Structure 1
Amino acid sequence: MEKTKQAGISSFQKYLTLCVLACMVIGVLIGKFAPAVPSTLGKLEIAGISIPIAILIWIMIYPMMLKVDFQSVKQVGRNPKGLFVTWIVNWLIKPFTMYGIAALFFFAIFKGSIAPELATEYLAGTVLLGAAPCTAMVFVWSTLTKGNPAYTVVQVATNDLIILIAFVPIVKFLLGVSNVSVPYSTLFISVILFVVIPLAGGILTRIRVVKQKGQTFFEDEFVHKFDNATTIGLLLTLVLIFASQTEVILSNPLHIVLIAIPLTIQTVLIFSVAYITAKLVKLPHDIAAPAGMIGASNFFELAVAVAIALFGTTSPAALATTVGVLTEVPVMLLLVKVANSTKGWFQK
């Protein structure tokens, strides 16, 4: 029975990339021909965070949180190397490689296609992405690579704490922007919405089901009821994101491609650095894969919010952060395949 379930999951995920592309098209079509839909949903927000997207992210995250055992969380401290890899890559490498790669492309390689003023704002948007490692979507990538749920929670939680301290100084240093104003309400509410609430829900559900039905029923039956929830939540989230960004996508097609190139290179580079480092320090695959994913993906909700606050809704910087959303999912799905196909490199 277990093999049948796994085969079903694999078959569903086999066509995930095509489903993502279909969601992009559907989202743009909705935004183009039924703009009232994203406009109405866009009004439902807290501190710049979309409530509908938050709900869909809960759908994505909840199945993984069900697998978190508090005893496993306590044991994370016995193997802190995965945390060190995450912290070093995310905060001592990622923001600076993002700045270097983006500056190289915008001011040198694409010099003939992008005016200096635009290049400066595009650089600002990419730096905002680079200084904000992922909070929510990393749970999706961890699930798809069969990551250790307890360890992933701690990796994300500690990065959230570091963001509170390090985000502003890094952005100010790299951009020389003295008036960076971070909406801390967005930060705190994001942590509550995307980590605290789903984690609490998962743990409470686990305790109740195990108490009523037993550990065997919980692990063999109950958890598998949500096997496809993460992927379905991801696809619906994409439809909503692309519907809300239709105007930006259709009005700047060439520059979107130009911005996407350095962002893609940065994503692959950071994943490679974290993943290979995890291999060198002999981490197991279920810790190494999420370690690579959390640095490669971005906290785009925060980056977009800060870009809008600093430069305006229709600014080139805001466009750059939006392109980060557009490029992240297809590239991360590719990296998920890479991580899954190289599982044999790691010790069991």
Structure 2
Amino acid sequence: MAAGLALGRLIPGLGALLSAVQVDGISLPIAAGLLIMMYPVLAKVRYDRLDTVTADRRLLIGSLLLNWVVGPAVMFSLAWLLLPDLPHYRTGLIIVGLARCIAMVIVWNDLACGDREAAAVLVALNSMFQVVMFAVLGWFYLSVLPGWLGLPQTGIDVSAWQIGKSVLIFLGIPLAAGYLTRRLGERAKGRQWYETRLLPRLGPWALYGLLFTIVILFALQGDQITTRPWDVARIALPLLAYFAVMWAGATRWDSRCGWAMPALPRRHLPPPATTLNSPSPWRSPPSAPRPARRWPGWSDR
């Protein structure tokens, strides 16, 4: 994070240069980092065990309720309560409340020794739901609900294809690569060789990709963050409150249902500034829940 901020601040034009390296609105440096980051984790998933996750209806329903009913409502309330005088940032926060992470969450889950199979299923489920519901919920929370409450209304111009494209690239490509790697590797050498020889070589690349992505994200916005610290602080407050409310709610739900973190709330990117996807110059990739149905010991890995 510090390295990215320093690069963005000390090298004039770096942010503009990195932003220019894109294809069809997708930043190539960020895309490369995310794909490198996700591939090793998805190569670790035991795809023959996914049926144990898909059969757990309470887990799936709980994840959808937390991420698509509770989460957006909480973020809408916090955005209006804490940023009533900053419409662009407020709109960005509301949009963040509708976006589910489809990349970094998988790595955070893996680093926390979470259930990889549950993570893969929940991210895929919420990603598909996001393609269908993002524009609808955006219209509701930015236009319909504010109108009912007598608040200023804004619009959102996001097509299902734009969201679906991100899902296909940032989830579909590494998921297909991870599945094929495991399938072909186990067929050629067996599961023991695959998990004791190949995976230890692939594993560190997830952390390399994560660090690279964080540096790039902060380098893109280094000048904005360092020159507008008060804006960063004000945006951080509702994000921290959102995390606290969602974490407490999810933990209470878990204790009542007998789970261990079935669907932790959304985004865990470190900086508040990079979590905005609004009409302001600050942007970030889409996002999703951080699932972890159980917490195996290192010996299980």
Q: TM-score range by the shorter chain?
A: 0.7 to 0.9
Deviation at 1:129, TM superposition (A): 0.4
Deviation string, structure 1 residues 246-267 (Cα, Å, up to 9, x no partner): 2211221112111101111102
Give the 3 Å change call, closer, same or farther, for CA 86–137 of structure 1 in structure 2. same
> Cα distance 1:29–1:198, how it changes in 2: closer, same or farther (>3 A)?
same
Residue 95 of structure 1 and its aligned partner are, at CA, apart by 0.7
Matched residue, 1:46: 23
SS in 2 for 1:135: coil
Verify: 1:35 aligned to 2:35, yes or no. no
| Segment of structure 1 superposing worse, 36-45 or 197-206 | 36-45
TM-score between the two structures when normalised by the length of structure 1: 0.73
Query: CA offsets per residue over residues 106-149 of structure 1, 9 Å max, x none?
Result: 24xxxxxxxx3x2x322211101001121111101111122222
| Residue of 70, 79, 82 corresponding to 1:102 | 79
Deviations along 1:185-223, one digit per CA (max 9) or x if unpaired, are: 431221112211111111111122212221111112211
The answer to whether residue 192 in structure 2 is matched with residue 228 in structure 1 is no
User: What is the rounded CA distance, in whole Å, between the counterparts of 1:99 and 1:244 in structure 2?
Assistant: 27
Q: Compute the displacement of 1:28 (Å).
A: 1.8
Q: Percent same amino acid among aligned pairs?
A: 28
**Structure 2: 5+ residue runs without aligned partners?**
144-152
Return the offset for 1:239.
0.8
Contact 2:54 2:60 (8 Å CA) reproduced? no
**Would the aligned equivalents of 2:72 and 2:97 in 1 still touch at CA under 8 Å?**
yes
CA distance in 2, matches of 1:140, 1:43: 27
Which region of structure 1 is more displaced relative to structure 2, 62-71 or 170-179?
Answer: 170-179
Q: Which secondary structure state, in structure 2, belongs to the residue aligned with residue 133 of structure 1?
A: coil
* Aligned pairs (5 A) from 1:1-348: 24-107=1-84, 116=85, 118=86, 120-176=87-143, 177=153, 179-283=155-259, 285=260, 288=261, 291-293=263-265, 295-297=266-268, 307=278, 311=279, 315=280, 318-319=281-282
> 1:303, 1:247 → 2: CA distance?
16
**Using the alignment, how far apart are the partners of 1:157 and 1:264 within structure 2?**
26
Task: Single out whichever of 96-105 and 183-192 deviates more from structure 2.
Answer: 183-192
| CA distance in 2 between partners of 1:178 and 1:103 (Å) | 13
Distance in 2 (CA, whole Å) between partners of 1:210 and 1:49 is: 34
Secondary structure, counterpart of 1:169 in structure 2: helix
* TM-score, normalization by structure 2: 0.83
Aligned-CA RMSD value: 3.1
- SS of 1:247 mapped into structure 2: helix
Task: Give the drift of 1:304.
Answer: 5.3
Structure-2 residue corresponding to 1:14: none
Contact 2:80 2:90 (8 Å CA) reproduced: yes
Q: Deviation of residue 303 (structure 1)?
A: 7.7
Q: Would you identify which runs of 4 or more consecutive aligned residues in structure 1 move more than 4 Å?
A: 302-305
